[in-house]
Structure 1
Amino acid sequence: MKSAALSFANLHNHGELFANILRARREAFILNNRWELPETMGMEYDQYDTPQSRWLAVHDAGRVYAGVRLTPTTARCGIYSYMIRDAQNGYLDSIPQDLLYAPAPVDEATWEVTRGFIVADLPAALRQKVRMRLVMEMLRTSRVEGIGRMIALLPSNWHRWAARCKLDMDAAGRNMNMGGIDYQAVWIDFGSQLH
């Protein structure tokens, strides 16, 4: 099992991995969660998949087991910035505007985590190992990119696995039910681990 951080600068080094991440996202979000999202050629994507983002994946033999997308909170592309801020500013109908306790940050050392998934058919015995591998890749990427903290919209059960993954996490907003799943915005602090 391997992990990788992809950017537009290194996609050519990873063969089909980027396309496989987008295919796995389609399976996770469109097929399993039944979210109405853009898709083409069997891949899910949106307006935040730009050269400003990074895509992390845990994979083996061409199969993606888990992934996340990281986007700097300073990102801009047309009218869009990053998902949580755009939701707060009323650009996204699917996420409530009052998802955060405070204004969404715009800070070079703060990045957003979105489109996090672990494939549904992963055996329970591998799930924690894959989750830890993904967290370690997030930590490595935070060091490379100078990320002190991340903001994410996660299922509200994040308390259950945060300690097991040794992540310093705090609530950044209220609990919300979206599409039958309870979500909450959270801070993930990597500042103490950058050294």
Structure 2
Amino acid sequence: MVMRTVSISWETVHRHGEAWISHHRLRYRMFVERQGWSVPHFECMEYDEFDTPAATYILVIDEHDQALGTARLIPTTRPYMVESLWPNLVEGLLPHSDQVWEASRFGCDRALGAGGRRRVIGRLIQACQEFGVAHGITSYLGVMPSWVFQNVIAAHGCPVQPLGPAMSMHGHAIEAASIEVSPAVLDLVRARTGLRQALQDAELPKVGAASLSPSLAGGVRPEQNRLATVATTTLVSAP
């Protein structure tokens, strides 16, 4: 299957109309149908109050512009989910900085096979790092099941720092955590995915061979990560 990874904002959505609509349908399948969340939806499309012009969407799409994976990024200088819904998950001050963004609505299509899900998740994680490095972001704030932070995000090379106590939600131990963003972390993620570059349409700094690991400098190799948890479970962020 051919996969592309794109970033979409309200300013660029006119170039990705089918992918944009498809991603809302994917969110409906992931979070309303499969997870049973009580969140707004209309005609099999899920949305919430944080889908605003401040949001950027990282999408993995197929050759027909159908969304296979999704992540939503929002600067913490604007209203964001953790601040509005679960401030108690963060001990200390909540971030309000252009350098700290919230990552939410993270997941992939459960209909994909195990290998396809691994590829999609790897692309999402790498694309979020690429977007972050290109836009001066130093960390993402996320709320997810604890096992996702450890077995998926951290396992791809991203340092994860829990920010407060966990709570039970939808049968999972949910927690807020900070995910480091940096060129060094991006190199670690590249080493695990085998991708030289995931995002194709964002303003990204040029990547020279010198910044890649020796095994990647010659080109793209097959993706290597084989996480059993990704192979068997659809990844989700909290509603």
The residue that corresponds to 1:137 in the other structure is: 127
CA distance in 1, matches of 2:180, 2:115: 27
Quote the Cα distance in structure 1 between the aligned partners of 2:150 and 2:170: 21
Q: CA deviation at 1:83?
A: 0.5
| Aligned partner of residue 133 in structure 1, secondary structure | helix
TM-score by length of 2: 0.72
Higher relative contact order (CA 8 A, sep 6+): 2
Q: Please identify the structure whose Cα radius of gyration is greater.
A: 2
Unmatched 5+ stretches in structure 1: 76-80, 89-96
Letter in 1 for 2:182: G
Deviations 1:29-67 (A, max 9, x none): 110000011111221111100000101111102321111
What letter is aligned with 2:181?
F
Instruction: Give the secondary structure class of the aligned counterpart of 1:102.
Output: coil
Which AA in structure 2 matches 1:175? A
Q: Which residue of 2 aligns with 1:108?
A: 98
Structure 2 residues not aligned, in runs of 5+: 187-204, 206-239
Report the RMSD for the aligned CA atoms in angstroms.
1.6
- Give the TM-score normalised by the residue count of structure 1: 0.87
Q: Is the 8 A contact 1:74 1:106 kept in 2?
A: yes
Percent sequence identity is 27
Residue 83 of structure 2 corresponds to residue 85 of structure 1: yes
Could you tell me which of 111, 114, 123 is aligned with 1:124?
114
State whether structure 2 residue 59 is matched by structure 1 residue 68.
no
Matched, 1:56 2:47: no
Work out whether 1:29 is the aligned partner of 2:20: no
More helix by share: 2
| Aligned amino acid, residue 74 of structure 2 | T
**Match of 1:117, as an amino acid?**
G
Runs of 4+ aligned structure 1 residues displaced above 6 Å come to: none
Question: Comparing both structures, which one devotes a greater share of its residues to strand?
Answer: 1
1:59, 1:65 → 2: CA distance? 5
Give the SS at the match of 1:98. Answer: helix
